[in-house]
Chain A
Amino acid sequence: MLQRRSLQALPVIVGVSVLTFLLLNLLPGSIALAIAGPGADPQTIKAIEVQDGLSKPLWDRYWQWLWHAMQGNLGRSLTSSESVTSLVAHALPVTLEVIIIAQVVALVLAVPAALAALADRSGRTDRLLGAVAFAGVSAPHFLWGIILILVFSVHFHLLPATGWVPLTHSVGSNLKSAVLPATTLGIGEFSFYMRILRGDLIDQLREEYVTTARAKGLSGSRVLVGHVLRNSLFSLITVVGVNFGKLISGAVIVETLFALPGLGNLLVTSIYQRDVNVVQGVVVLTAVAFVIINLAVDLLYSTIDPRVRYAVANG
């Protein structure tokens, strides 16, 4: 299955790279002009175009890019002339760390919260968690970010408002700089996950196997955790996978807000600077990451549900 799905993913990645390439080149204003800066004379612009191969036809440039990309060379930044690969290599860990912390914490809190809401269905806990979730999904990332900065940095001076300490530098300081951005991203995720899981748990509780499990003499909580939870995970897993993509776009906002040297920040800066090579590289890598995550989700389905495994094995 992995093989077939990987092959299906290939056109997606190629499609994304073609689209970004086209879009970037169709933008008004020439790339050489952006590099040369405003007020540059036509000779300089022409020279840049020749030097960076910008005067060649679009398809030629695309093939050349693709050929190099397949060898792991994503070109050089047009502004700083650093290699795109090394720029990404510096930015990616920051974004990944924030996103992963956000996802893990959101999930780790969402599962018990959903179970607690279910145990106290329509009761006080359930309604309170429902209200929290409603607020969590309704308010945008930047609002949560500003509120968190106001409370924890400005008022209590507990955590830094901006900046990033690399993991290799100091683990403690690194985590301190990651907490607020990760929380900002995670609040919405937590709310979303909790409500989805709660809904699926309620649906599954109506299934007859729940009665069987109770008829065996299992306690309510053992039925819930041992039988119902696993069968309720499908929508949650799907959403978690899809949300990685959403979080990458959320990272653009959060990294700008908290001044983190992550992928989102790199992308925004490169767009402003018309640094086509960097934008192209970041977008394609993001697409690849997204495809891989969804592939992993597909594999998880079959781990959880033997019926999927069966269907896959039989065609």
Chain B
Amino acid sequence: MTSSVGQPATVESSPLAPIGTAERVLEVDDLRVTFTAGRTRTPAVTGVSFGVEAGRTLGIVGESGSGKSVTARALMGLLSGRFEVSGSARLRGRELIGLPEREMRRHRSRDIAMVFQDPMRALNPTMRVGTQIAEAVRLHRQTTRQEAWKEAVSLLAAVRVSDPEQRARAYPHQMSGGMRQRAMIAMALSGRPAVLIADEPTTALDVTTQAQILALLDDLKSRFGMGVILITHDMSVAAHHTDRLAVMYAGRIVETGRSAALFKRIRMPYSDALLKAIPTLDQESHSPLASIEGSPPDLTQPRPGCSFAPRCRFVQERCRAEAPSLAGEPAGDGVSPDADPGHQWACWFPLEDGS
């Protein structure tokens, strides 16, 4: 691939460097989002904290309504309706939460960019794809229209769109789903952002295209040294394409840690249930698909105890009375040497090995 944007702006680290040495580009601390409608208050995100490292992917996993997308949109300043946001999100040291729209606008796509779930709906149907990308290019740099168009074409080349000159002139409906999502990614890359949020980027695509888009994101994050937040409800996607993971339930992070270590030893019953909900090939044919009984709690009616308690197979008395907070293994309690010290879970009775 040869193109002007093919070269990373800054190479922060090689993808093989051990976790922990990469620069933290985004630091989210105690993020809270509450929607208000009349007298009803919906705490959609409650005390979420995480970090995103350059050239690494943080996965945020959970069911619909768990607060994944709200978290992403709060970081972008793209929430709509009546809401309150508190907490902190520092991007390369600069606070994003509470910025007035005029200033937040300057950070969008230059520092933090986003790719959406359905690329058909996320692209303007009456504008050429190249024009939509060039428009973003011209927002960040003083260039002529022709220069911006050339840049748009090379961005399309960078996301492996074949025949980019031709494609740039196409309208969204003339492209396939995968092409459209590549175009969305090209647009998101136009400002060389430090952080790219991909909100269920493959949910609307077929399986083969999914794999290509995820591989592309993996490739781009190391080439551009971007931190990626990959939001998904698919545990298998999370397992293969993330470095760190945060499992969200009812607006909180209920388990977090390095993906590899976390998947080896899942502690929170909700994460475990999500993982078991993936159908596998060695499952007997026509056997019923595993699913999580019940539905996520109504956030407008706060109840004491762990929010997963009503659906948990291992629920105990304490779970219904007291809410557990996110914590790791107490030190010196027979911790195995290869365990992830950052692995934390919010559960009174975490799963043991083999359970």
Contact = CB atoms under 8 A, between A and B. Distances in A.
Contact of A306 (B101, B118, B139, B171): B171
Nearest to B170: A306
A212 B187 contact: yes
Given A306-B173, A307-B171, A217 B122 contact: no
Nearest to A207: B121
A209 B171 CA distance: 13
A216 B135 contact: yes
B4 interface: no
B280 interface: no
B123 interface: yes
B114 interface: yes
B24 interface: no
B318 interface: no
B116 A304 contact: no
A212 B108 contact: no
A217 B124 contact: no
8 contacts: A209-B122, A209-B125, A215-B109, A218-B135, A220-B101, A230-B127, A231-B125, A305-B126
A211 to B, nearest CB: 6
A227 B108 contact: no
A305 B124 CA distance: 11
Residue of A214, A216, A230 ringed by the most chain B CB atoms within 10 A: A216
Interface in A70-114: none
Nearest to A230: B126
Given A217-B140, A219-B105, A306-B173, A208 B122 contact: yes
B139 A209 contact: no
A237 to B, nearest CB: 13
Contacts of A306: 125-126, 171, 173-174
Given A212-B116, A306-B171, A307-B171, A218 B122 contact: no
B31 interface: no
Contacts, number: 76
A226 B125 contact: no
Interface string B167-210: 00001011000000000100110110000000000000000000
Interface of B: 76, 78, 101-102, 105-110, 113-114, 116, 118, 121-127, 135-136, 139-140, 171, 173-174, 184, 187-188, 190-191
Contacts of B105: 217-219
Nearest to A213: B124
A212 B123 contact: yes
A286 to B, nearest CB: 33
Given A226-B135, A227-B127, A307-B173, A216 B109 contact: yes
Contacts of A209: 121-125
A310 interface: yes
A218 B124 CA distance: 14
A211 B116 contact: yes
Interface string A196-231: 000000000001110111111111100000110011
Nearest to B114: A215
A219 B102 CA distance: 8
Contact of A310 (B127, B139, B174): B174
Given A208-B118, A211-B116, A216 B125 contact: no
A114 to B, nearest CB: 18
Given A215-B114, A217-B105, 16 more contacts: A208-B122, A211-B78, A213-B124, A215-B108, A215-B109, A217-B107, A217-B110, A217-B136, A217-B139, A219-B105, A227-B124, A230-B126, A305-B125, A305-B126, A306-B174, A310-B174
B121 A216 contact: no
A212 B122 contact: yes
A219 B106 CA distance: 10
Most buried by B among A208, A213, A217, A227: A217
Contact of B116 (A208, A219, A220, A307): A208
Contacts of A214: 78, 108
Contacts of A215: 76, 78, 108-109, 113-114, 116, 188
B76 A208 contact: no
Contacts of B102: 219
Contacts of B184: 212
Contacts of B188: 215
Contact of B122 (A211, A230, A307): A211
Given A217-B136, A217-B191, A304 B126 contact: yes
Nearest to A309: B171
A108 B188 CA distance: 36
Residue among B105, B109, B124, B135 with the most chain A CB within 10 A?
B124
Contacts of B125: 209, 231, 305-307
Contacts of A310: 171, 173-174
Nearest to A214: B78
A216 B112 CA distance: 9
